[in-house]
Amino acid sequence: MLDPIFVIGTWPAGSRARGSTASITCNGGWGQRMAQEAGLRTGRGLPLFWRVCLVNGAVFAVGTAVLAASPATVSTPVLAREAVVLAVGLTVMLAANGLLLRAMLGPLDRLRHLMEDVDLLRPGQRLREQGSGPAADLVGSFNAMLERLEAERAASSGQALAAQEAERRRVAQELHDEVGQSLTAVLLGLRRVADRAPAELQQDVLLVQESARASLDEVRQVARRLRPGVLDDLGLVSALTSLVTEHAQLTGAEVCRRLSPDLPSLGPDAELVVYRVAQEALTNVARHADAGRVCVDLGPTFAGDAVQLRVVDDGRGLGDSREGAGIRGMRERAMLIAATLTVGPHPDGGTELQLLVPTPRPGDGR
């Protein structure tokens, strides 16, 4: 007999289910509520345990009735023909029992596989609800739970990223207004000192002046990375052009860009996500890919219902490495605007990143 004890694993939002140390059982908490919704321990129909018992009992009862009603007898010792009849009958009973139990418990096996592989940063993973009964009800309850968790994850991620962008904006403003202005004053003072310094100190003053100028450039560069003012002032295409040019200057890699000027309006939130994803992708290329060439493409899809960003490099590729914090951060941003992010090997070697951003429909708030 089967003893259906169901243990449903839980995991932190965004992490994979495999290896989780927390669990929810049918004896309490959410597991009990899900079990009750699915009819596993309630009076809504028969509990699953009794359904399994009844299926097994019905199969053996039918087999016993057929054996009692048939004229067949069993000799002592058992004849070969009688052994064949018994073997066929037992096989039919086991097959019928297996088919009935598979129809009843099959959804639970599919549910287990989904629970092991589900990732809230890849929304839309669902099991198809087939048939009826407690197992099918449990699948429906699990799908509903995934929808709630994805909505909660999207809301919390949106709040966290909004706070992050606000803090970046504040820090960039302070760097520009406070540190930048202070270094500018230092440069002006050094210029006056250089004009009046003795000849033997001129070279030293000029070296200090160049060091201060380099520090000012670095501060401005950090401020631009924290909050790209060109994105607000000139738009997404100009911001990506500046980003790609800066990447080429810093890394020395060959960079090609194909940025369509005729992009549909995405809204400020979506444009910021596209920019941040491109920025993180180029940062990953510079740190990990050891690439000699990088291509950045941005344009509408053939159907015209989305905008696609592609970043392709000819570096060492992903290999068997797991997704790091950078890629998962990009997935969180993509999830906020209902975009689709895929990262994988390019057919010609290296790595290819694609971000598909749906264009807003009339009446959307984006």
Can you give the three-state secondary structure of the chain, one letter per residue?
CCCCCCEEECCCCCCCCCCCCCEEECCCHHHHHHHHHHCCCCCCCCCHHHHHHHHHHHHHHHHHHHHHHCCCCCCCCCCHHHHHHHHHHHHHHHHHHHHHHHHHHHHHHHHHHHHHHCCCCCCCCCCCCCCCCHHHHHHHHHHHHHHHHHHHHHHHHHHHHHHHHHHHHHHHHHHHHHHHHHHHHHHHHHHHHHHHCCHHHHHHHHHHHHHHHHHHHHHHHHHHHHCCHHHHHHCHHHHHHHHHHHHHHHHCCEEEEEECCCCCCCCHHHHHHHHHHHHHHHHHHHHHHCCCEEEEEEEECCCCCEEEEEEEECCCCCCCCCCCHHHHHHHHHHHHCCCEEEEEECCCCCEEEEEEEECCCCCCCC
Computed over every residue of the chain, the mean pLDDT equals: 75
Domain-embedded: residue 169: no
Residue 251 has what pLDDT?
Answer: 86
Residues 18 and 144 in one domain: yes
Residue 354 has what pLDDT?
Answer: 94
Q: How many domains does the chain have?
A: 2
Domain-embedded: residue 213: no
CATH of residue 318: 3.30.565.10
Domain-embedded: residue 350: yes
Segments in the chain below pLDDT 70: 1-51, 63, 67-68, 70-76, 78-79, 82, 104-107, 109, 117, 119-121, 129-135, 320-321, 361-366
Residue 96 has what pLDDT?
Answer: 75
Domain-embedded: residue 15: yes
Residues 19 and 151 in one domain: yes
Domain-embedded: residue 220: no
Domain-embedded: residue 223: no
Q: Which of 121, 156, 191 is the last residue of a domain?
A: 156
Range of the domain at 92: 7-156
Q: Which of 141, 156, 171 is the last residue of a domain?
A: 156
Domain-embedded: residue 191: no
Residue 43 has what pLDDT?
Answer: 39
Q: Which of 94, 122, 156 is the last residue of a domain?
A: 156
